[in-house]
Structure 1
């Protein structure tokens, strides 16, 4: 089989974790598989790079970069010495050249007092630039031929949007030529989270960008399967920190997984599924620290389960905005003006509900976007498009997902029965697809609502084929 294995930050966070990674790759390669690897930065490194880049803009004196670089170097060299002692000189020299470049660009940002989207992307790509050579060296230390390359060198061509780039279809033949051609002889290790625009500028792929990188590489080499290695056993019926009885789901469809991801499940970002879905490549989520567990496979067709509900997700810290006024009734373009204003203010709207009278529109946003939303709506009100609006900060969004809901009678009745037994009031309801029903409750009722539905559908029990 031809596989792509993507390893997240916790999977490559220290020498012990990297030893697990090497064993997983070696065992699979010894079984006859061709493998391309995509890696994230070590745990917390990207966050440190972002924080430092933003700090140096405001430093009145020359920033203390030496201590930051020394700390970063010490961590990576310690791991390198443990996992690849025979390659310390070779890889150490490469890493030192990266540290020098990182220091120079951070100093330039300080001197210019400006952090452009382009320079920010370049800086935060260094986490993967430091981790990938170490993983590759660890494989070589274990007797596995390997080389490392950036996302740009691997052939990921993007639309040029910084901090949220999208890979272009032209990437696939480039990846096949640059990565696919190596697989019979070695294990290429690709730096995740990054690609390049047509003019050669480094562009990062946004949240969970390394997952997206893994899917892009998988689509480019026509992989038989893409494995996302993380620190959990798979996709759960709900967050086990909220509901300890939560269970790993054996199989889930692309559509179900995308709905879950959008509404709070953080195992795979929705964008990371798109290349795999386009080429119908299964994506399997597995635990680096428990590799014997079969994990969860994400596939095109939903797995048969007598329960119509498969999983429940929860988004806390939501805000409910109600927009109203008789002036809205029957007036074309009101919703367009409202959502254009919100989009221009950078506000992401998660859920929408409109009353049949056309006099009320309710929407859900995250709390971090509230100030921007209120400012935008105040301007819409000033233009006479709406009469009034108000908001409620203390709300949570519960999303119920399951392909079995499509065409099944009584699904909403059963969901609301569970909520009624729990004494939970629903403030807003939205159904965007046949596999998802989302509703809004008070923040204090969020976990209670998840538990009520989890118990109503007995999701703690094994799947019922």
Structure 2
């Protein structure tokens, strides 16, 4: 079997965790499997880098740079000494060189009083740059040959959008030549979260970028399976912090995962699924700390049981925008004007609902985008296109997900009857043509209760025959 295995930040948090990672890889290596590995930064490191980089242009001095460099040195050298003691000198020198480069660019950002998207990408890639050599050394410590690659060296070619780059189709052939050819001889360790443009300029892949890297590399090497190792047993029917008897799903489809992740569930980002889906590669989500658990399989057509609904999730940091006015009725181009203005202000619209009268359009946006959205839409009232634009921060969006809902009569009735009996008022409803997702908006305080009510209504805590 040929596997791509990706290990997230909690899975590589310290030397003990990396020991577990190597145990898993060693077992498969001894069984004759071919392996490629993608690793994230240690937990919290990327957030620390982002926070400091964004602060430096306006900071009075660089006093926070040296403490961060010292902290990163201590953390990674301690991890290296515990995970690969025979390589502390060799790999320690690599870590020191990279810390020096990081310090120089942080000083430059402060001195120039500017953080460009390109320099920010370079800075936030250092979490993976510092950690991947440690994982490679830990493998060699066990006698498993391993070479470390950054995303560009591995063959991930991307668009030039810094912070949110997308892999290009040419990546497949490059990865096959650079990584695929090594799998019979060693275990390549690849830094997640990054790639490069055709000109060799480093880019990062955005939210859940390491998962995206895993899917890109997995597709490039024609992996039989892609395993995403994390700190939970798999994808759950709902957030266990809200539903204490939430259950791990045995199987889920690509489309269901995309719907769940779009609405805030901590599973693979929608873009992360695309390369695997393109090549129909089975993806597993497994727990590094409980490797015997089978986890969750993500496949083209998920396992169907007698329940039409498979999982629930909700996002609480959103806001609603309501655009009203009889002037909108029968007037071509209103929707175009709205969405063009929002796009120009880089506002992402998460949900849309329009009344059949055409006198009202309701939108849901990320709460952090609300002010920009309101500014972008001010012209609608000023130019007499609509009567008013109002907004509400006291809302959350709930998503009911299940491929079994497609063509299943009465699902919407069950959902809204259950909510009505529980006294939960629904403010907005949206459903896509895939019929795998019914989304609705309620008051923020009603979000957890709505999820609990529907989790009980569809018996999602019970194993199904």
- 1:424 deviates by 1.0
Is structure 2 residue 447 aligned with structure 1 residue 451? no
Is residue 409 of structure 2 the alignment partner of residue 409 of structure 1?
yes
Distance 1:177 1:254 in 2: 28
Q: Deviations over 1:118-172 (max 9, x none)?
A: 0000010011000100001001111211110100000000011100000000011
Describe how 1:54-453 pairs up with structure 2 within 5 A: 54-432=54-432, 433-453=434-454
Note the aligned Cα RMSD (angstroms): 0.9
Distance 1:62 1:247, change over 3 A: closer
State the SS of the aligned residue for 1:218: helix
> How many pairs does the alignment contain?
464
Structure 1 residues 447, 62: closer, same or farther in 2, change over 3 A?
closer
| Native 8 Å contact 1:318 1:395 kept in 2 | yes
Give the distance between the partners of 1:201 and 1:173, measured in 2 at CA.
Answer: 19
Give the gaps of 5 or more residues in structure 2: none
Worse-matched range after superposition: 323-332 or 381-390: 381-390
Shift of residue 66 of structure 1? 2.2
Stretches of structure 1 that go unaligned for 5 or more consecutive residues are none
| Rounded Cα–Cα distance in structure 1 between residues aligned with 2:393 and 2:65 | 40
Please state whether the residue corresponding to 2:291 is helix, strand or coil: coil
**CA shift for structure 1 position 64:** 4.3
Structure-2 residue corresponding to 1:28? 28
Equivalent residues of 1:341, 1:380 under 8 A apart: no
Cα distance between partner residues in 2 of 1:382 and 1:78: 61
Mapped to 1, the partners of 2:155 and 2:282 lie a distance apart of: 22
> Deviation at 1:59?
2.5
Rounded to whole Å, the distance in 2 between the matches of 1:169 and 1:310 is: 33
Q: Is the 8 A contact 2:260 2:267 kept in 1?
A: no
Secondary structure of the residue that 2:147 maps to in structure 1?
strand
Alignment check: 8 A CA contact 1:313 1:400 kept: yes
CA distance in 2, matches of 1:233, 1:188: 26
User: C-alpha offsets along residues 55-79 of structure 1, whole Å, 9 cap, x if unaligned?
Assistant: 2212233444222211110110000
**After superposition, what is the alpha-carbon deviation per residue over 1:102-127, rounded to whole angstroms, capped at 9, x for unaligned?**
11111111111111000000010011
Relative to the length of structure 2, the TM-score reads 0.98
Determine if the alignment matches structure 1 residue 460 to structure 2 residue 461.
yes
When the two structures are superposed, what TM-score results if normalisation uses the length of structure 1? 0.98
Deviation of 1:348 after TM superposition, in Å, equals 1.0
